[in-house]
Amino acid sequence: MRRLSLTARLSLMFMLAVTAVLAAAGFAFNHLSQRHFELLDRHTLEDKLDASERILSRLDHSENFDRVRPELQALLGGHRDLSVLIVDEGGRVLFSDSSDTGLIEPFARFSRQNTWEWQGEGRFWRGVTRQLSLAERQAPLTVMLMLDVTTHMSFFHTLTRWLWVGLIVCALFSALLGWLLARSGLRPLRDFAQVAASISAKSLRERIPSEPIPAELQQLVMAFNGMLARLEDAFIRLSNFSADIAHELRTPVSNLRTHTEVVLTRARSIEDYQENLYSNLEELTRMSRMIDDMLFLAKADNGLIIPERKTIVLEDLIAKLLDYYQLLADEGDIRFECSGTGPIQGDELMLYRAISNLLSNALRYAPAGSVIKVEVSHSASTTAMSVENSGGTIAAEHLERLFDRFYRVDPARREGSPSNAGLGLAITRTIVEAHQGRIWCTSQDGWTVFHLEFPSVCA
């Protein structure tokens, strides 16, 4: 079953609302008008009846009725739509201003009712009945007045018919007007859909302008533009990542191919073949390590890296790493200084890898004869760690991107080096964030510091 469009729904609701309001207004107008005319008719009948009662009150006997007949005739005979009947107790007609004998039936039917209405032969009547007592006798006279309201009722029938016609016409007109208004009001949505349909990998920079958008759609437009910004950033990162992978893998593959082609140009000794295989093994080891790192990052992006949760004494873990890197530090005449203590909860192997990347990075860039400082601090809510080394100051625009994959501050080193593929800091950030921590870098006055912060065990 095909569902109605939003324009059709708004048009239908607008039509129903307008029709309901007009119907209520028409019903109220019709009812109040009928009530108004009914009150006017009853007021006319009551006035005539009161005047008749005052005239008849001067009558001492019904046999002397002719004395008041002229007055009654003058009072009641001047109203062409009014019919009068006065009868005594025995049913004898004393006074009647109508020659229509057909009016005797309603008079007889409603002789005991005060107010009444009657319809017959295509005419409508509204009447009143009152019992009047004469002075010298107890038997009352019955006075009946009946007003012909056929014209009024015909007017209301015509009014009702035209109200229905007007209601139908207004409903159709309001449906058309509602459709036009809804279509005009929903134009920003169509523009929104058009821009969304035009979005592709080549046009992720396009944004929906928020100025002409109604306030009700501002939040939707902001959310959509934010989504486009995130998609653009992710697409750029993915494109750069793919290009960086190609660059990083091209060097070892090219080396492998070159070595193999050189070896195959002529027959060589077993020692030459062994030397070439060792060289190829070194390149293959580098490629394997790079692939393992990329697989680790891919798993982390999909939430597949779940660290263990056990208490780790951070200074003990750092001490093991410093012992491992001490030989490399001695070769560069570099000293380690470690201070502070603090426990954290996490995966020992993953944290070992993250801190190892930081120490390796510090050894790579620290000048000979310098000091690498490792500090640990502990508070009620966090356990912090920092790795600080001297060297060149990193520009502020590079600090946030240091943790991007394959990113290097020096563009001349984009092709990588045998010992560095540019994934270490990206892996470190992934491990730290997997432990609900955060990492950032500061660099000034020739000192570069990597800061790590984890939730405390006591938190």
Kindly report the backbone phi and psi dihedral angles of residue 50, in degrees, each rounded to the nearest multiple of 5, phi listed first.
-65, -40
Q: How confident is the model at residue 459 (pLDDT cuts 50, 70, 90)?
A: very low
Tokens 């079953």, residue? 1
Give the DSSP H/E element, type plus range, for residue 454. strand 447-455
Please give the span between the terminal C-alpha atoms of the chain, in angstroms, as a whole number.
57
Whole domain around residue 56: which residue ranges?
6-172
Mean pLDDT within 274-289: 78
Identify whether residues 61 and 158 lie together within a single domain. yes
* Range picked from 183-187, 239-243, 262-266, 331-335 for highest mean pLDDT: 331-335
Q: Higher pLDDT residue, 122 or 394?
A: 394
* Residue 269 forms part of a structural domain: yes
pLDDT number for residue 262: 78
CA distance 258 to 280: 10
**Angle 207-231-435 (CA atoms, 0-180°, nearest 5)?**
135
Is the domain of 292 the same as that of 314? no
- Give the CATH number, domain containing residue 234: 1.10.287.130
The phi, psi pair for 118, rounded to 5°, reads -145, 145
The predicted-structure confidence for 399-440, as pLDDT tens digits, reads as follows 888 887 777 665 544 444 445 556 778 888 888 888 888 999
Same domain as 82, residue 140: yes
CA dist 75 and 55 (Å) reads: 10
**CA 192, CA 195: separation in Å to the nearest integer?**
5
pLDDT tops 60 at residue 391: yes
- Give the single-character DSSP code of 420: B
Residue positions counted in the chain: 459
Q: Which residue has the higher pLDDT, 312 or 115?
A: 312
How does the average pLDDT of the chain come out, rounded?
79
- Please enumerate in sequence order all residues whose Cβ is within 8 A of that of 338, keeping only pairs 6 or more positions apart, or say none: 315, 318, 319, 322, 373, 374, 375, 376
Boundary of a domain, candidates 265, 283, 301:
301
CATH number for 119: 3.30.450
Residue type for position 83:
S
Q: Residue 183 and residue 11: Cα distance in Å, rounded? A: 9
Q: What is the pLDDT of residue 386?
A: 92
Residues 266 and 137 occupy one common structural domain: no
Domain boundary among 301, 333, 358: 301
Residues 13, 129, single domain; the answer is: yes
Residue 336, classed as helix, strand or coil, is strand
Q: Say if residue 293 is in the same domain as residue 385.
A: no
Look at residue 247 in the predicted model and tell me its pLDDT: 64
Q: Which residue has the higher pLDDT, 165 or 142?
A: 165
CATH of the domain at 406: 3.30.565.10
Q: What is the pLDDT of residues 150-177, one digit of tens each?
A: 888 888 888 889 989 989 999 999 989 8
Q: Are residues 51 and 22 in the same domain?
A: yes
Instruction: Give which of 314, 413, 303, 403 is closest to 358, Cα–Cα.
Output: 403
Element (H, E) at 341: none
What's the domain count of the chain? Answer: 3
pLDDT tier at 101, thresholds 50, 70, 90: very low
pLDDT for position 48: 83
End residue of a domain, out of 301, 319, 354: 301
The answer on 314 and 273 residing in a single domain is no
pLDDT at 414: 45
